[in-house]
Structure 1
Amino acid sequence: MAAGNDLSEKPPKKVHASLEIEGDDDDDENYCPIEQVRLTVPQTDDPELPALTFRTWTLGLLFCVLLAFVNQFFGYRKSQLSISSVTAQIVTLPMGKFMANVLPTRRFRVPGTSWSFSMNPGPFNLKEHVLITIFANCGSAGVYAVGIVTIVKALYRRPLHPLAGFLLAQTTQMLGYGWAGVFRRLLVDSPFMWWPDSMVQVSLFRALHEKDERPKGGLSRVQFFLVVLISSFAYYIIPGYLFPSIAAISTLCLIWKDSVLIHQIGSGLHGLGIGSFSLDWSAVVSFLGNPIASPGFAIINTLVGFFIVMYVMLPITYFNNIYEARKFPIFSSHTFDRDGQRYNISRVLNPQTFSIDMDAYLGYSKLYLSVFFAFTYGLGFASLAATITHVVLYHGKTIWSLWSKAQSTLDRKVDVHTRIMRKNYKAVPEWWFHAILVLTFALSLFACQGFGKQLQLPWWGLVMACLMALFFTLPVGIIQATTNIQIGLNIITEMVIGYILPGKPLANVAFKTYGYISMSQALAFLGDFKLGHYMKIPPRSMFAAQLVGTVVASSVYFGTSWWLLTSIPNICDQDKLSKGSPWTCPGDNVFYNASIIWGVIGPLRMFASLGVYGKLNWWFLVGAVAPFPTYLLSKKYPEKKWIRLVNMPLILGGTMNMPPAQSLNFIMWGAVGLFFNMYVFRVYKKWWARHAYVMAAALNAGIAFMGVLLFFTLQSYDIEGPDWWGLDTDDHCPLASCPTHPGVQADGCPTVAS
């Protein structure tokens, strides 16, 4: 038996929560210092197994394109749906085996060259499967820069050259390759940088490649997947077309139809969501991801944060009129003026320069937010500070120990996996990464400075963004590679450029994308490199898959976005869309308002002495001290292990994606997550282990296929569902967004007497 096939004989072992590190005096050729890696990753390899095959390219590119298209397509819809690479990881296994059974085995020669290939080089193997998943991961990861294209065309209604938008999408993704190449030896080759999330992926790959025997009277994993997929596909025609109202059912609003207070309390889309629920799976997975794939302790921490913010902090602040909260809706991502009306951004933006007109701003109004939206930024400040404190307290010694060992042993000691990789495969030359970095930077400079400087970011701003990304990639990478926690620096980047270059919305979002997203993309590349390292994928094959997958995915994301933005009338404009239209772009509307807050108005006039919300800066201090009580309790009562599971960054950041996420999404996500990961996991553990992830992938895939089918066959021809009460995509709580401050008027709302 080939060494590589040993994976199918040994089931993966559980990864332990505590970290065990072997001493440096172990000179055994199978040396591996991290216990979790020793228990999970096989120390064998078969270098003869083909990796970058015809099957790899075909299935990899197919799912890269498919996931990129579907995720961007649904990203514009009211109920967003994000399909992760896990779906492709599960679906492509039987597809690969099928191709191995039916494709011809003879070799084909490429005309004019000495190259030849076989469409079927043998049994479908694990290395092919890993590379296909890497392709799919490129397609599922999203392209942040596409949000800039959307807000410019759909919400600011400004011209944007398509080549400028395309280059923005490509360069912000590809810059990450440069940073990854600079730090690859430290963050990938070192055995002490072990990337905990890779252990989950390795375990799942090994489980999928075990022999799957159909249980007596039951279904194989593939059969179960198909049954759930077909069921999900068939059912989604109801909430997706015939009866959209079941996606958000707010029972209190249906009983008390004329009470503003009851609508505020009961609306799952515009209020607290008490008594609301959904019969649409897309409402469960929108914005928060698949709850079945989320750990139970993470769900509980997130729900604790949600309940504290939504049911304690929000009612206290709103009904006590803090920040004049009652002038505005109780829950909204929009911006407002001092009179409680929508902020008319056109009154303060100079149409020629597309920057703030200070005289017009001073003669109009400061910018106000709903109190919940203001909380989002305060909690963002707190979550960032809490994450840093949490990492220092809980992981500081481990990080320092691992980093010290990594530095001292990098050139003189390697673990078994690095030894195997260096022995069996050629490394990726450093100059490949450097060439990509230089080329991408040049194209970035062209995108920002060309096309009439439509992106507003000056050359020095691009250089500063790149320097920030370069500076933070290593420390944030060390933290993620040892603790699985990535510190989000988006607030820092938009705050820095907001102070330096206020009044320019596109400069702000472009700086954030080049400064933060390129760093985040670099860490994603490095994490995938480490997975390939553990799975013994030839480094050059991994490089090719990531590079091609990134270029293709970025192109598909941009192309899908441009197509929808130019073909759907009033897309993203919630005030002008027809009844029942799903194209409300909730995420992009939040991104648009954030560009106003940080870019047009700027942090000086929002969160400093000249703004309304300066006191929110105290949340930095709140976040910094929040982890101390639980940390001290965990030290005092080490036998109470549940205390260590209390995660203050998760609690404080639990509602960070509200809006666009709404209370209904949290309620349904939490209910489903607790049911599967607390009840089913404990009572029916064998069923959960065999079917949970498969079911989660199938439910998402069924919705995606039906949603795309409905659009191309009916909705693209303006054939909407039947015109009746249930066609409304809202939750029939029209008074939930009404202001309750005396004298403030809003359409469709009763005016409260002074």
Structure 2
Amino acid sequence: MISQVSWDDKADPESHGKANDVVPNNERELVAHVISEDDDPSLNPWTFRSFFIGFGLSAFGSALAEIYYFKPQTLTVSLMFLAIISYIIGTAMDSFIPRRGIFRWLNPHPFNKKENAFVIIMASAASNAALATEVLAVQRLYYDVNPNPATSVFLLFSSQLLGYGIGGLMRSVLLYPSKMFYPNVLPLVSMFDALFRDGTAAQRKIQVFWTVFSVIFVWELFPEWIFPLLTGFSIFCLALPDNPAVSRLFGGSNGNEGLGVLSICFDWQYISALNPFIVPLKALLSVLFGYILCIAVFMAVFYGNVWKARNFPFLSQVLFYENGTLYDQSLIMDADYQVDSELVAEQGLPYYASTWVVYLIATNLALAATITHLLLWNYDDMCAAWTWLSPASFWRTWQGFDWRFWKYNGRHEEVKITDDLDPHYAQMLKYPDAPNSWYGLTAVLSLIVALVVIYKSDSTLPWWGLVVALLLATVFILFIVALYAMTGIPLSIQTFVQMVAGYLHRGKPMANMYFVLYSYNTMNQAQLLLRDLKVAQYVKLPPRAAFAAQVIGTLFGAAVNFVLMNSIVSNRSDILLSVQGSNVWSGQQVQQYNSQAIAWGGLSNELFSIGSRYHWVPLSYVIGLFVPIPFWLVHRYWPKLRTDFIYTPLICGFIGTLAVGINASALSFLIVGFTSQWWLRTRCPRWFQKYNYIVAAALDGGTQVMVFILSFAVFGAAGHTHLFPSWWGANQVGNYDHCVLLQ
């Protein structure tokens, strides 16, 4: 039987040799072993240096994210990449700027962990291409609607901040408890602990970090550019290079090639799309079950010719005519860019690739299963999440309300210090809080602005549609973010809200886009807010500093997003509207967003209603509500079977996981994940506690820096593509793994 260790024994894991040999049994023990609980209240994040680096990286990250959005190769700005760059700049300013006279404003004291966290949270909030810029680009390119700059900017502000306000009000359930430990941020925080902590153990971690960072940095040159066969090495493809069935099942080195079964991937960029070092063991088991089911279901659907699957590509996300040619959506739109039923009758209803239909079904199953799963297993937590909506809570807020909110003294509500209280949260109680009223005010102001904007921007979305979108977002914030906080695996609600919007606003693609913006994007923003607040909690960054960094970064980044989007659309509209684009600019994402809005906003009733071709897509949501119940009943009456290890939402979601992209990394992901979370955690707990997350951080950091360099040097982000000369390991005229090219 594994012994338990008290919090006092775990406070400094480097100081207690025996504690390091204990296998972490739950989230609380895991975090206690790998992240320091120490805090130095004298460390000051409010420095000119923090804002200087923060604004600089926010401008860089937001501009880069928006440029990437209109590139043929879509990339995102990595949090780990920003963390490493900010650390280098901060330590350089610390080392080379004097601390005398006027220079003390630039370099008041050694660059510290809280400054770095402040910069990262600010830059992270800015370094996303705001979904509202996508909506504005579609309006300009396809609907000849051009909202004035003020309306556009306020659209960006309201859509980005609504999720912050709603998510912030759920902090007591989605942030403070130990079980909400956000495994995705553990490598980042572990890196901070190593970089800013003194002592021999910390120095060893730093050495490990930079060694692994350097090795993976150099290694990524090979699978990314010189030797791309390493992206997906398949013995079956090499043995049978001309067999279409082999390509569908075993191929996976290129986008939408095949399922990548038994392929080995040596490219960390693809393996770590979801870092396997951080996914908990229970979640990994569910991922494995879902992955196996996905392979079986996809092959059965295709070779069983379900939904005429053999007429279309094996993996694809676009719409087709029945004969397999691409569906021309412009032929079913009237002069007002709304779907015309008579034109639809002439063209015929479009088809999806059948594997994409399975993905849609799996997504709905997962969303519904998430609600039931959390209500069954975490009922008390879910109920507690709505206490802020109770009359008593509103009365307390009103009683203590002062319109001079900047004078709020920061006193926390009475929090009873017990053994059950998360120790990292307990350390934060010494700092003035950013109260619920601040988050509530953010939500209310954003809602008022949104109500004005949807009419000023000719969105065609009525006020009640906005309200429904926000209600859906609020519900999903509670359930989807809770699952993300416990497993590190995000689920998307985009398909579901597009379906709901299609039924509510039939024949109105633009209304569908705005509905998705204020539901899907609101949930995503709440998830980002809570993730970054967890970073702040782990590094003990004061709540007000975290709130300021997030809001400033979000508003600043949104403004930069708008300026760049406006410039690119004004000067490159012909290229963005073309199917192929150029090697510098592409409208692929704008086109896809508009196409999805037409399909869901204009054809939901014809494609997805009961009795129609794809009626199992909405019905799967109903079925998903019942999926977790048998597992819960089994655990209640036969607990020794340990069905509590099963996350049914993850199993359901991963049934559709191979529907898009490069799939050769799945086996490598599972091998690395089980090696880390089972073998190392149970057989080498000392090594796991010290180095598992610092190695994860180094692998991500080195990979992302090299990918960033290669993006501009050879992959066309700077305007010209320079592929490595074709050879056996770099098959530039087909699939890299040498499977037959089917599409």
TM-score normalized with structure 1 length? 0.76
Deviation at 1:304, TM superposition (A): 2.2
Is the contact between residue 210 and residue 698 of structure 2 (CA under 8 Å) also seen in structure 1?
A: no
1:203 CA displacement? 6.6
What does the per-residue CA deviation read over 1:13-71, in whole Å, with 9 as the maximum and x for residues that have no partner? 9996569xxxxxxxxxxxxxx99999999888655431221232233334444444555
Residue 261 of structure 1 corresponds to 245
SS of 1:270's partner is coil
Which of 366, 371, 376 in structure 1 is aligned with 2:359?
376
Aligned Cα root-mean-square deviation (Å): 4.7
Point out the more displaced range, 328-337 or 473-482: 473-482
The structural deviation recorded for 1:595 is: 2.4
CA 250–16 in structure 1, closer or farther in 2 if over 3 Å, else same: closer
- Against the structure 1 CA distance between its residues 292 and 518, is the aligned structure 2 distance closer, same or farther, given a 3 Å change threshold? same
In the other structure, the counterpart of 2:286 is 301
Q: Quick check: 616-625 or 327-336, which moved more?
A: 616-625
| CA contact 1:80–1:282 (8 Å) conserved in 2 | no
Which consecutive residues of structure 2, in runs of 5 or more, have no partner in the other structure?
1-10, 397-412, 418-423
1:487 Cα deviation after fit: 7.5
Change over 3 Å in CA distance of 1:92–1:683 after alignment to 2:
farther
Cα 1:468–1:652 change in 2 (3 A) is closer
Change (3 A) 1:683 1:90: farther
| Paired positions, count | 695
1:601-656 Cα offsets, whole Å, 9 max, x none, are 12x12211363111334423442232233333333443455x42221111111155
Say if 1:177 and 1:437, in contact at 8 Å, map to a contact too: yes
1:244-643 matches, within 5 Å, as 247-248=231-232, 252-253=236-237, 255-268=239-252, 269-274=256-261, 276-285=263-272, 288-310=273-295, 312-350=296-334, 352-397=335-380, 399-400=382-383, 413-416=414-417, 424-425=431-432, 427=434, 430=437, 433=439, 436-437=442-443, 440-441=446-447, 443-445=449-451, 447-450=453-456, 453=458, 455-469=459-473, 489-526=493-530, 528-529=532-533, 532=536, 536-557=540-561, 576=580, 591-602=593-604, 604-609=605-610, 611-639=612-640, 641=642, 643=643
Residues 148-187 of structure 1: pairs in structure 2 closer than 5 A: 148=135, 163=149, 167-180=154-167, 183=169
Tell me if structure 2 keeps the 8 A contact 1:8–1:206: no
Structure 2 Cα separation of the partners of residues 685 and 456 of structure 1: 57
Q: 1:705 maps to which residue?
A: 708
Q: Cα–Cα, structure 1 residues 474 and 385, in superposed 2: closer, same or farther, change >3 Å? A: closer
| 1: CA distance, partners of 2:661 / 2:570 | 26
- Output the CA distance in 2 between the equivalents of 1:587 and 1:663: 21
Which runs of 5 or more structure 1 residues have no equivalent in the other structure? Answer: 1-5, 20-33, 110-116, 739-754
Checking the alignment, whether the CA contact within 8 Å between 2:174 and 2:481 is kept in structure 1 is: no
- The amino acid across from 1:727 in the alignment is Q
Match of 1:611, as an amino acid? S
Residue 664 of structure 1: SS of its match in structure 2? Answer: coil
How far did 1:419 drift?
A: 8.7
Say if 2:695 is the partner of 1:692: yes
Separation in 2 of the partners of 1:107 and 1:729?
63
Matched, 1:104 2:72: no
| Number of the residue aligned with 1:26 | none
Q: CA separation of 1:620/1:448 partners in 2, compared to 1, >3 Å: closer, same or farther?
A: closer
Say whether 1:135 aligns with 2:125.
Answer: no
Alignment partners' CA distance in 1, 2:601 and 2:194: 48
State the AA in 2 paired with 1:653.
G
- Residues 435-455 of structure 1, C-alpha deviations (whole Å, 9 max, x = no match): 64455445535543345x2x4
1:292: how far off?
3.1
Distance 1:398 1:438 in 2: 25
Q: Which is further off, 503-512 or 203-212?
A: 203-212
Q: CA 1:518–1:598 in 2, change beyond 3 Å: closer, same or farther?
A: same
Moved more, 380-389 or 585-594: 585-594
Give the TM-score of the pair, scaled to structure 2. Answer: 0.77
- The whole-number CA distance in structure 2 between the counterparts of 1:221 and 1:43 is 17
Q: Look up the SS of the partner of 2:654 in the other structure.
A: coil
* Contact 2:329-2:595 within 8 A present in 1 as well: no
Does 2:731 correspond to 1:726? Answer: yes
Q: Residue in 1 aligned with 2:399?
A: none
- Residue 712 of structure 1 deviates from its aligned partner by 9.2
After superposition, the Cα gap between the structure-2 partners of 1:74 and 1:615, relative to the gap in structure 1 and judged at 3 Å, is same
Whether the aligned pair in 2 keeps the contact of 1:233 and 1:705 (CA below 8 Å) is no
Task: Name the aligned partner's letter for residue 606 of structure 1.
Answer: L
What is the DSSP-based 3-state SS (H/G/I as helix, E as strand, rest coil) of the residue aligned with 1:366? coil
Report if aligned partners of 1:293, 1:696 keep a CA contact under 8 Å in 2: no
CA distance in 2, matches of 1:45, 1:274: 47
Q: Describe the shift of the 1:470–1:275 C-alpha distance in structure 2 as closer, same or farther (beyond 3 A).
A: closer
- Aligned to 1:56, the other structure's residue is in SS state helix
Structure 1 residues 422 and 290: CA distance shift in structure 2, 3 A: closer
Deviates more, 1:368-377 or 1:493-502: 493-502
- Asked if 2 retains the 8 angstrom alpha-carbon contact of 1:50 and 1:127, the reply is yes
Q: Percent identity?
A: 24
- The CA distance in 2 between the partners of 1:700 and 1:172, in whole Å, is 32
Q: Secondary structure at the match of 2:609?
A: coil
Deviations 1:241-265 (A, max 9, x none): 5565654556545554544333333
Matches within 5 A, 1:8-27: none
d(CA) in 1 for partners of 2:77, 2:570: 24
Specify whether residues 306 and 423 from structure 1 end up closer, same or farther in structure 2 by C-alpha distance, changes over 3 A only: closer
1:378 Cα deviation after fit: 0.8
Amino acid in the other structure paired with 1:130? A
Pair 192,307 (structure 1): closer, same or farther in 2 beyond 3 Å: closer
Instruction: Give the stretch that moved more between structures: 371-380 or 289-298.
Output: 289-298
Q: Which amino acid aligns with 2:627?
A: A
Partner of 1:741: none
- Does the residue aligned with 2:111 lie in a helix, a strand or coil? coil
Q: 1: distance between equivalents of 2:697 and 2:526?
A: 29
Distance in 2, matches of 1:698 and 1:419, equals 31
Label 1:15 to 1:185 Cα distance change in 2 as closer, same or farther (>3 A): farther
Give, in whole Å, the separation in 2 of the partners of 1:661 and 1:139: 26
Relative distance call for 1:538 and 1:186 in structure 2 (3 A) is same
**Secondary structure in structure 2 of the residue aligned to 1:291:** coil
Q: Separation in 2 of the partners of 1:404 and 1:720?
A: 56
* Letter aligned with residue 336 of structure 1: F
Shift of 1:367: 1.9
* Cα offset, 1:315, TM superposition: 1.8
Encode CA deviations 1:520-564: one digit per residue, 9 max, x unaligned. 423543554465467554443222211111123334555666666
Matched to 2:312, the amino acid is F
